[in-house]
Every structure is written in structure tokens, then in C-alpha cells.
Structure 1
Amino acid sequence: MIGSRIAAITLAEPRARSASPSPPMRMIPIVLVLLAAPGAAAAAGPVGGDASVVDGDTIEIAGERIQLYGVDAPEDWQFCLDETGADYHCGKEAALALKAFLSASRPTRCTFAGRDRYGRYIGACFRADGNDVNRWLGESGHAVSREENHDKGLYAAAQEMARSLGAGMWRGQARAEASSHVAEE
């Protein structure tokens, strides 16, 4: 991210000078920044493309895994209780619902806040029609709001809406059990 600022400042300087360097010369600082800090430069800008679903809160675009910021979906192997008290694969359901949601409006665009402990980007993602993917996961009941940096969770209101409607993993008897399955992770 610092590299982006340096590049922006360097590009702005030639206007103040009387003799502007040729376009190839103006590119040298940008190339040096990209070579010196490829992770920081890549995280600075948004990425877009066709997203594939890894699990209920992780997607992949152009070979990069992106953990959706502020939400936590059950893992593929996790179960929740449905309205009758029977187990169901809520993790697989979350992943399938996310896949259907993303395929309804492509491409997906993400901006990044950094990387997680597994090296994945942490990002906020949006469909081509502008719908917030992270918020939709909370509103549909396929993920819970994750507290980040001691806040109450960016998507806490979306989660409460899903809970009040009995949506997704909040349906029937799953309401209490669903959040504990995800929280245990």
C-alpha cells in the first residue's frame, strides 16, 4: 500500500517540472515498487473476475483465495439442526447458496483489507449489479457476523435480520446451534 502512494507521488511530480521525463522513464518507479513489494501492491487495488466458491465464506478469483471480511460461514463438513431437529449439511448449503448468488451477476469485484493467517486475501466483494456479497451471506442466514478488531461486527444487523426471519441456518431449532457450530471453529 505504501508503494502505491510512492508511485502516485512520483507520477504527479513531472507536471511541476519544466522537462517531463518520457513515458518509459515515468514507469520505472512503478516497476520498482511492484518488484520490491508485490503483495502490498496487489492488495492495494481491487480485483475482479469470475469467482469460484471454495467454501461458504471463501472465493477464488484469478487464482487468489479471498476470505470474505466480517462474516463466518460453517465449514463444508459442519452440520446444523433444521426445523425438525434433524442434522443437515449447513456448510455445504452455505457454499451452494453462495455459488448461486455469485452466478446470478458476474463478474465479482473485491477490495482487500490485508491477508489472513493462511495467506488468503481478506476482502469485501460485490457482484456486477452492486450487491454486497458479504452482507448477503449474513442477511440470508448462511454466515454469522464476525467480530473484527473488537467491533460488534460489520454485519451484525444483517445477522439479526436473518435470525428474526429464521433464514438459512437460523431456521427452526437451528437458531441457537448454528451460531455455536460456527463459533467453535
Structure 2
Amino acid sequence: MLRLCSVFVLIVACAAAACAMSVNGAVRVVDGDTLVVGGERVRLFGIDAPERAQTCQDARGRAWPCGSRATEAMKALVKPGGVRCSGTDRDQYGRLLARCFVGGRDIGEEMVAQGMAFAYRRYALDYVAAEEKAKQARRGIWQGRAEPPEQQRAAERDRATAQAAPKAGCAIKGNISAHGRIYHLPGGKDYAKTRIDTGRGERWFCSEAEARAAGWRRAGR
């Protein structure tokens, strides 16, 4: 099926198990692993770049802004234009998980090869070889010490949760995900692992009636 839109071209090819989505068009860089291509928010598959405000250490132990440098490296890679991305899945924030190319170059592989992103081994091993070469050459994040971005994100979530600790009797968690606004009751299957980030609009509720009135729906489990 081919669908032509005014801003970008969206091609959806469905097989028995999944639908592959391809997007191309005007591109905007969000950070070192996220783009907006033709209006579609895309998270590059198989890599994890430092968070925008993250700092790393160089060979002498001095801090340097690896997060903002990763964003700049991504901007340089996509500058020629003609970015095209293809993927079959979405993450919890609704972003298309995709491999992206410009001028025949795999953008994710280039970011890892430059030492501007980690190979996201928890999800894919596609760019491990490129990461090993970057390590040996001590490029980018490998010139000194760099904390994996997922650890940075976990620390931020923990701080946000601590700051947003519920009032007594207000322990219902209002979570926002790809499935929409869902509230979790204490004792529910996903309650313990659900974190509340008030910076994303998530919140605590004191009753189910309050949660429903605010537009949240109850978790199915």
C-alpha cells in the first residue's frame, strides 16, 4: 500500500507477522539517536547515544559535553539530506524504531563508529564490530570514561520519582505510554515497575474516580 502525504512519503508493507514502515523527507535532529523524519519521530535502532545534557570524561579525567557533541555529530551526518528510515516496531513513547540511511550510509553505524553512541547490545548486536573499532581508536566516548545512557535515564527517573513521592493515601500511579494514559493500582502486576515522571505529565492519584476524571483509564492487569 502506498500512501502519499503532503509533507512526506509513507510506505507500509505488511507481511504475515509485521508491517514495515518507511519514511523519508525533511529531517530534524532531536538528539544523538532520535530524529523527526517527514513529521515521523524516529528512534534509531541498535544504538544508544549520550543524553543531551550528559557529560563524559576525557583521557585526563576532564569533563566534556558528550551529549551535545553527539547531537552535533548527528546533525553533521544528516546535513546532506535525503534521509530514509525503515522499521517495524515502536517504543514505549510511540517512536518508530528504525534503521536510517543518508547517501547509502547507515547513520546508526556511523554514530557508533565515531564514538558518538554505544551499540545498544540489550536490543541488537548489529553495531558491536563498529563499537570495538571505536574503542580501540579511543574515539569520542571511548577516550575516557562514559556512563551508559540508560544508567543516566534510570538515575533521572529515580530522582523524579523521589521528588514526586505521593501524599498519604494517594498511591495510584498515572502512567503515560504508547498505550495512552493508564493508571495502576497498588498490588497490580505492573505497579512496582511503573515509575512516575512528573516532567512528562505523569502523576499520582488519590482515587480511581480522580484518575478517570483526569482522563486516565485503569490498567488491564
Report the secondary structure of 1:84's partner residue: coil
CA deviation digits over 1:148-178, x for unaligned, max 9?
A: 55x5x2111111111111111111xx2xx31
Q: Among residues 104, 121, 133, which one is paired with 1:161 in the alignment?
A: 133
Aligned to 2:94: 119
Q: What RMSD in Å do the two structures reach over aligned CA positions?
A: 2.2
CA distance in 1, matches of 2:150, 2:20: 30
CA deviation digits over 1:55-108, x for unaligned, max 9?
A: 1100111221100000000110111001221111100000001101110x2110
Contact 2:113 2:134 survives alignment (8 Å): yes
Aligned to 2:108: 134
Q: Among residues 75, 93, 110, which one is paired with 1:99 in the alignment?
A: 75
CA distance in 2, matches of 1:124, 1:140: 17
CA distance in 2, matches of 1:125, 1:51: 11
Report the secondary structure of 1:46's partner residue: strand
Contact 2:109 2:130 survives alignment (8 Å): yes
CA distance in 2, matches of 1:57, 1:115: 14
Please identify which structure carries the higher strand content.
2
CA distance in 2, matches of 1:82, 1:147: 23
CA distance in 1, matches of 2:73, 2:36: 16
| TM-score of the aligned structures, taking structure 2 as reference length | 0.58
Pair 1:80 & 2:50 matched: no
Aligned to 1:55: 31
CA deviation digits over 1:96-132, x for unaligned, max 9?
A: 01101110x21100001210001000000000x2000
Please identify which structure carries the higher helix content.
1
Identity score, percent: 36
Where in structure 1 do 4 or more consecutive aligned residues deviate above 6 Å? Answer: none
Report the residue type matching 1:170 in the other structure: W
CA distance in 2, matches of 1:90, 1:56: 10
Report the residue type matching 1:81 in the other structure: Q
Contact 1:75 1:91 survives alignment (8 Å): yes
CA distance in 2, matches of 1:101, 1:84: 28
- Structure with greater contact order relative to length (CA < 8 Å, sep ≥ 6): 1
Contact 1:80 1:181 survives alignment (8 Å): no
For structure 1, the 5+ residue unaligned runs are: 8-29, 31-38
How do 1:13-28 and structure 2 match up within 5 A? none
CA distance in 2, matches of 1:169, 1:135: 15
